[in-house]
Structure 1
Amino acid sequence: MKKTPPFPPLSSNNGVVKPLETPLNQLGFEEGYRLTCELLHAQIHSRSLLKGLQLHGHIIKSGFQTLPLVSHHLINLYSKCQLPLLSRQIFHETPRKYPTTWGSLISSFARNELPCLAIEYFRRMLCERVLPDDHIFPSAIKSSGILGRIDVGGSIHCIVVKTGYEGDVFVGSSLVDMYAKCGDLKIARKVFDEMPERNVVSWCGMIYGYSEFGEDEEALKLFKQAVCTDLQVNDFTFASVISVCGDSTLLELGKQIHGLCVKTNFELSIFVGSSLISLYSKCGVIEAAYQVFEEMPMKNLGTWNAMLIACAQHAHTNKVLALFKEMGSFGMKPNFITFVCVLYACSHAGLVEKGKYFFGLMKEYGIEPRPQHFSSLVDLLGRAGKLQEAVSIIEEMPIAPTESIWGALLTGCRIHGNTELAAYTADKVTDLGSMSAGMHVMIANAYAAAGRWEDAAKARKMLVDLGLKKETSLSWVEVGNRVHTFTSGDVRHLRTIEIYQKLEELEEEMERAGYVADTSSVLQDVDSIEKSQKIRYHSERLAIAFGMITFPPDRPIRVMKNLRVCDDCHTAIKFMSKCSGRVIIMRDNSRFHRFEHGKCSCGDYW
């Protein structure tokens, strides 16, 4: 397709830009025009706002401001200096607008997080019968992705096809990224597969989409293909794949990709470093997370937050408080995520007064408490046994209590055996209407603990009637590049006989050391013998036994679990570490537990 020339021709001059010694209006038109554009281009490159403003004054005096190419550079200057509304002012003062003028403004809005304005001016451009090109389409499509408006993005996609730009690598990459961010991975992959040429943006957009929506296996497959095609992947691609490894707790693969980052000089990237901190933390290797954090030459707020949550999940509460204080000395202003991390740490360490202090501190930073903060505060009070105070917080807070807030109160009730309040809370949650499968289970357990077996049965029946399934308790151990997964009472593993034999040996040693099974966590109306059998072969115990027959004695056994560890298993694993002399690191759905010499890092407060 033949493209419209962007601007009137300008005589080329590749000389070095010299200081402005003669006023622009005293030069000839050709020389003044050329020098103006060269000087503007230099200020755009350096992003020097002060010098740019001074130059803009000279341009107004010379009368060059209305020339299309000069307007284009001024729009880009203010865009790069994060002043998109000034870009818009220049645009409206330009009498004749070329496609590139429209593109510069739409790009300015998209780049400066004003996607609604980008879409609005894209629509105005179409109304002016100006056809978009390969520079305008990506900005408009990107804005649709930021807004999550797949309908708008799809409409722009139709215009792309009608104007013949579907084969353009930049347009195609932006479409892949937009569909992936909007959650339609099927269409994103279709666009990706049909692209005649792909670049790092298209590969990265597809990998990021798979990783964000839990398609970890597909994300890793695509990354392997990208590497095999000798694609020069960027730091964002590495960060996305490392995040996948962290979410899937694939430590060995994550280490290999870390090595690849080192070879390609991306290990110092802020994005890669933050993802590596999360990877090592989620895989139970907090020491490596500390090392990555300390070696990073540059850190942004996301890096600090990644380290804060890592420390909080590993019960390094003092380090969390020290890091929060240290952030200020580096000029980092905490955001709402920072306070979620700090409140979480206080909650799981029983630091009630500290938690209240940080909750109040948010207002000094202009941060309004969100449901996550109220949930953490209720959890803090509930775990500390201050249940009535937690109820008062829920009753007085300015927002409607969410499922997570009621869930935090239910957790406190369970810990402190307040079955009456637990049943009351369950009634309140039931009034909310729709809820997750996990909350249905919590409600059923609350009724069962209060002896309201009929209500517990109704809650479980409702779970079935709604087509929801209780999440199966899983525990897994990584050996090399293979993950071994166990369920409660599992007999499918190739080494099942050895695993159960090892577990029997451990049980005998534990009983001699004083272990007595606690069956209170089995909230079913069955006899004590059956309750004892149910907890004896929980998935985490099978995983630990497998680790003991697989790993050498000096290697820690790292077990990952998708649900909260029950009270009895927590006690049993302390005895396992004492009797075997092994270090056992276990992650449940809330935090890490490091068992060593019969003690747990959580201090039995979790």
Structure 2
Amino acid sequence: MVDDRTQDGTLGKGNGDGFAHLGRPDDIDVSIELRDWLFALEGREGHYLPGGVNIEANIVASEDKSGHDDTLNWVAESLKFSVKQPALKLCSYQTLEKQFVLIHGNSVTNGFISNLHLNNSLVNLYARHGDMKHARKLFDRMPERDVVSWTAMISGYSGCGYHLSAFLLFKQMRREPVRANDFTYGSVLKSCKGLGCLKEGMQVHGCVEKGRFVENLVVRSALLCLYAKCGKMEDARLLFESMKERDLVSWNIIIHGYTASAADTSFGLFQLMLAEGKKPDCYTFGSLLRASIQVNCLEMVSELHGFAIKLGFKRSDVALVRSLIVAYAKCGSLGNALKLYDRTMKGDLISCTAIITGLAQQNNFTSDAFDIFKEMILMKTQMDEVVVSSMLKICTTIASISIGRQIHCFALKSSQIRFDVALRNSLIDMYAKSGEIEDAVLAFEEMEEKDVRSWTSLISGYGRHGDIEKAISLYNRMEQEGIKPNDVTFLALLSACSHTGETEIGWKILNTMINKYGIKVREEHLSCMVDMLARGGNLEDAYELIRSENSITSLSSSTCGAFLDACRRHGDVQLSQVAAAQLLSMEPKKPVNYINLASVYASNEDWDNALKTRKLMKETGSCNKSPGYSIVY
């Protein structure tokens, strides 16, 4: 029913002219006897109010003087007299829900709801503003629907991310005597891409081939996008090559499709695009920069940057600058990333995230990361969990538990940051590595969902604290809950055994890793085993392990270095010479190897060999060690 009461419950009038206060469209009694809008306008040359006032002219005049809001209010008051179309067009550019709800309500009370064109405008209006609930209610009540009606709904569902609803409505449309147009196909193909439904998309492709839009550029581009998103690059390439006309959108789609799987092909297609006289845009450069990241080619990033400048792109092109910052950061050139950031993109979330993450991954812990994080807070930049995780990693590496706690508190107070598994894992890792094992356990137990990294981080924390029993207990609980350990999990367990000298448990863990889970032994596992055996004085067993033919990993410099260091601690000259000979053949320029061997000779008062070793280090040019320094003056 129409609610024509004011807030005090009395029947209301707007400005003394009988204007009803209407509710939302779904509250309106659509059983009102409808009048024929076209019949009411029959014989009119234009759209006029009583007294000969032209609606379109007044809308333009009101908009010039007062702006959109006042114009819409004026139109809402006048709509009971005449046409709604000018008001609807005006609403299309404004997210002003109350005004176009009033327009819809007046169209019902004044008998215009039976007109197809008006209904299509209303459906399109609701769909454009994302109000699919009321768009669908109006659509279902329409006495007549054409391709514009169906396309407005399908496009609205697709644009709002309701891809399944869009596809189901398209199937329903196919059962009606309505022929789809190019916009219909473009929207439903977008939904097939969003759903990842290649089979259904190919069925739509079949419908296109049977219709008159087989060469339509919009439809072809939508098909290209579908095949590229679903990983069918061969089909996408065939379709692309068969296109009689290819615009920049088509080139961008096919180039972007190859960025993840075949970066070289992306660069080759880019050359062909330039040969055809097409000028790249920010999206083209974004795809090529992503391809450069895939192959970790900093030189290509620099070349693309220079080419963009040559083509006239400026610092004001935000999308391009953002892509360049991300590419430089991920390819290791944090200096260039910081220069671009300082000049143009201060406070930008994506740029800040890329730089902070790059600093965290490269263990480049200057004050830059903290400065950028402070800038984000001061500029009230919307934070996300990726930035916080990277900052926690930096705090972990520099062992700054105080700053880490502050960032944790900031994340708790922020409504923007989602505590996902990755962020909680970073918290566990930070607290465990900073010696706050109780806080690490608390963060672990609060997790509703745990992955293998969650368990591994806490196991590693127990190992660092020398609590092998809790580490093994947590590992057993992990297996009971059905979480499959990985090579890093076993590395954490072996490291714990190495620190506590639990040789027997270490052997059991290694056998479980190899025989039960089929995990290949890495050199880090072998180094832990060698260190564990050597700590217990079992140097012969350690040597047999690293030279065994059954050992899955060949002798490496890190393993041999760990063995040499153990021999030095136990003063075993013979095995030290064997280990040193192997190590010096692999790393003849590393001074620490000579120093360790000389220390073994010196501890056994073999001064001649100690002196010879020192002399050999000088002859090979290995004595140029980097001088140590301290921040304390």
Matching of residue 72 in structure 1 with residue 120 in structure 2: yes
Taking the aligned partners of 1:64 and 1:289, their CA distance within structure 2 comes to 59
Post-superposition Cα deviations, 1:583-602, rounded to whole Å, max 9, x if no partner, equal xxxxxxxxxxxxxx66799x
Contact 2:192 2:226 in 1 (8 A): yes
For residues 220-299 of structure 1, the aligned pairs below 5 Å read 220-262=267-309, 263-265=311-313, 267-296=315-344
Name the counterpart of 2:391: 342
Shift of 1:254: 0.3
Taking the aligned partners of 1:342 and 1:462, their CA distance within structure 2 comes to 37
For residues 313-462 of structure 1, the aligned pairs below 5 Å read 313=361, 315-316=364-365, 318-366=367-415, 367-387=417-437, 389-394=439-444, 396-412=445-461, 427=476, 438-439=487-488, 442=491, 446=495, 449=498, 451=503, 452-460=506-514
Contact 2:126 2:132 in 1 (8 A): yes
Shift of 1:257: 1.0
Q: Secondary structure at the match of 1:130?
A: coil
Taking the aligned partners of 1:522 and 1:190, their CA distance within structure 2 comes to 61
Post-superposition Cα deviations, 1:332-353, rounded to whole Å, max 9, x if no partner, equal 3323334333333333332334
Post-superposition Cα deviations, 1:358-381, rounded to whole Å, max 9, x if no partner, equal 445445444552210121011102
Taking the aligned partners of 2:523 and 2:201, their CA distance within structure 1 comes to 35
For residues 24-63 of structure 1, the aligned pairs below 5 Å read 24=79, 26=81, 32=83, 36-45=84-93, 52=100, 56=104, 59-60=107-108, 63=111
Q: Secondary structure at the match of 2:182?
A: coil
Taking the aligned partners of 1:318 and 1:271, their CA distance within structure 2 comes to 27
Name the counterpart of 1:553: none
Shift of 1:288: 1.8
Name the counterpart of 2:172: 124
Shift of 1:39: 4.5
Post-superposition Cα deviations, 1:181-232, rounded to whole Å, max 9, x if no partner, equal 3344444444434444333333333333333x44333333333333333333
RMSD (Å) for aligned C-alpha atoms: 4.6
After superposition, the Cα gap between the structure-2 partners of 1:171 and 1:349, relative to the gap in structure 1 and judged at 3 Å, is farther
Q: Secondary structure at the match of 2:428?
A: helix
Contact 2:255 2:287 in 1 (8 A): yes
After superposition, the Cα gap between the structure-2 partners of 1:422 and 1:369, relative to the gap in structure 1 and judged at 3 Å, is same
Farther off after superposition, 57-66 or 331-340:
57-66
Matching of residue 133 in structure 1 with residue 181 in structure 2: yes
Q: Which has the larger radius of gyration?
A: 2
Q: Secondary structure at the match of 2:335?
A: helix
Q: Which runs of 5+ in 1 are unaligned?
A: 1-7, 473-506, 508-516, 543-575, 582-596, 602-606
For residues 172-251 of structure 1, the aligned pairs below 5 Å read 172-211=220-259, 213-251=260-298
Query: What is the TM-score normalised by the length of structure 1?
Result: 0.66
Taking the aligned partners of 2:129 and 2:105, their CA distance within structure 1 comes to 17
Contact 1:444 1:460 in 2 (8 A): no
After superposition, the Cα gap between the structure-2 partners of 1:341 and 1:113, relative to the gap in structure 1 and judged at 3 Å, is farther
Name the counterpart of 1:564: none
**Corresponding residue pairs, total:** 488
Q: Secondary structure at the match of 1:135?
A: helix
Q: Secondary structure at the match of 2:92?
A: helix
Taking the aligned partners of 2:497 and 2:423, their CA distance within structure 1 comes to 29
Q: Secondary structure at the match of 2:316?
A: coil
| Amino acid in structure 2 at the alignment position of 1:278 | V
Contact 2:384 2:418 in 1 (8 A): no
Taking the aligned partners of 1:521 and 1:460, their CA distance within structure 2 comes to 26
After superposition, the Cα gap between the structure-2 partners of 1:535 and 1:199, relative to the gap in structure 1 and judged at 3 Å, is farther
Out of 159, 162, 182, the position equivalent to 1:111 is 159
Shift of 1:101: 1.4
For residues 294-313 of structure 1, the aligned pairs below 5 Å read 294-296=342-344, 301-313=349-361
Post-superposition Cα deviations, 1:541-591, rounded to whole Å, max 9, x if no partner, equal 99xxxxxxxxxxxxxxxxxxxxxxxxxxxxxxxxx999487xxxxxxxxxx
| Amino acid in structure 2 at the alignment position of 1:348 | T
Contact 2:392 2:426 in 1 (8 A): yes
Farther off after superposition, 194-203 or 109-118:
194-203
Contact 1:578 1:598 in 2 (8 A): no
Farther off after superposition, 246-255 or 331-340:
331-340
Taking the aligned partners of 1:110 and 1:521, their CA distance within structure 2 comes to 65
Contact 1:144 1:152 in 2 (8 A): yes
After superposition, the Cα gap between the structure-2 partners of 1:598 and 1:56, relative to the gap in structure 1 and judged at 3 Å, is farther
Matching of residue 519 in structure 1 with residue 568 in structure 2: no
| Amino acid in structure 1 at the alignment position of 2:262 | E
Q: Secondary structure at the match of 1:96?
A: coil
| Amino acid in structure 1 at the alignment position of 2:287 | S
After superposition, the Cα gap between the structure-2 partners of 1:133 and 1:310, relative to the gap in structure 1 and judged at 3 Å, is same
Post-superposition Cα deviations, 1:398-422, rounded to whole Å, max 9, x if no partner, equal 4242112233335546766766655
After superposition, the Cα gap between the structure-2 partners of 1:232 and 1:44, relative to the gap in structure 1 and judged at 3 Å, is farther
Taking the aligned partners of 2:170 and 2:580, their CA distance within structure 1 comes to 67
Q: Secondary structure at the match of 1:295?
A: helix
For residues 86-165 of structure 1, the aligned pairs below 5 Å read 86-163=134-211, 165=213
Q: Secondary structure at the match of 2:491?
A: helix
Taking the aligned partners of 2:564 and 2:270, their CA distance within structure 1 comes to 43
Q: Which runs of 5+ in 2 are unaligned?
A: 1-37, 48-55, 63-73, 525-556, 567-574, 591-620
Q: Secondary structure at the match of 1:175?
A: helix
Taking the aligned partners of 1:578 and 1:38, their CA distance within structure 2 comes to 85
Taking the aligned partners of 1:302 and 1:309, their CA distance within structure 2 comes to 10
